[in-house]
């Protein structure tokens, strides 16, 4: 974990959209780091590929691929995020994709704040970073 949370309430007590907010940042940082690790060194190229990998449609598809491998607790947190009402859907996403991507981000935020770094890395390592 990059930053050790100090006085955060237990992640189970946080609203799912707060967990998704944190999860979005963790996911984005992970993707950017992996792209650099994969050999991309031009910011334009890193950004272009990162945009593809952080889109709601990609995140929704990724979640559906790993969903059967989630524990009961992880599935519960993912569902909390998926069912949360955010009030808006980006123009670039369908409602169902956005809900699933919010579920993924909620799960990531939950694992991050809970300190489940090994499990978080295990799941995130399954994101297909392959370069075009």
Any idea what the Cα angle at residue 51 is, between residues 45 and 113, rounded to 5°?
115
**The pLDDT value given to residue 132:** 62
- Domain membership of residue 79 (yes or no) is yes
| Average of per-residue pLDDT values in the chain | 90
- Domain membership of residue 3 (yes or no) is no
Does residue 131 have a pLDDT over 80?
no
Tokens of 18: 């707060």
Rg (CA), the chain: 14
> How crowded is the C-beta side of 76, counted as CA atoms within 13 Å?
5
- Domain membership of residue 1 (yes or no) is no
Tokens of 81: 């995020």
The total number of structural domains in the chain stands at 1
| 3-state DSSP helix/strand/coil % of the chain, to nearest 5 | 70, 0, 30
- Domain membership of residue 5 (yes or no) is no
What digits encode the pLDDT tens for the residues 19-37?
A: 999 999 999 999 999 999 9
- Domain membership of residue 131 (yes or no) is no
Q: In which domain, by residue range, is 116 found? A: 13-124
CATH number of 88's domain: 1.10.1520.10
Looking at the chain, the whole-number percentage of residues with pLDDT higher than 70 is: 90
Confidence of residue 120 (pLDDT cuts 50, 70, 90): very high
Residues taking part in catalysis? 24
């Amino acid at each position: 974990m990059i930053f050790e949370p100090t006085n955060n309430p237990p992640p189970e007590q946080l609203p799912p959209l707060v967990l998704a907010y944190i999860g979005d940042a963790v996911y984005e940082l992970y993707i950017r780091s992996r792209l650099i690790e994969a050999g991309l060194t031009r910011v334009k190229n890193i950004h272009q590929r990162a945009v593809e990998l952080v889109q709601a449609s990609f995140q929704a598809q990724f979640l559906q691929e790993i969903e059967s491998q989630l524990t009961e607790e992880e599935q519960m947190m993912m569902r909390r995020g998926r069912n949360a009402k955010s009030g808006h859907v980006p123009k670039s996403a369908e409602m169902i994709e956005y809900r699933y991507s919010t579920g993924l981000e909620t799960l990531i935020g939950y694992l991050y704040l809970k300190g489940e770094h090994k499990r978080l890395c295990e799941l995130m390592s399954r994101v297909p970073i392959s370069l075009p």
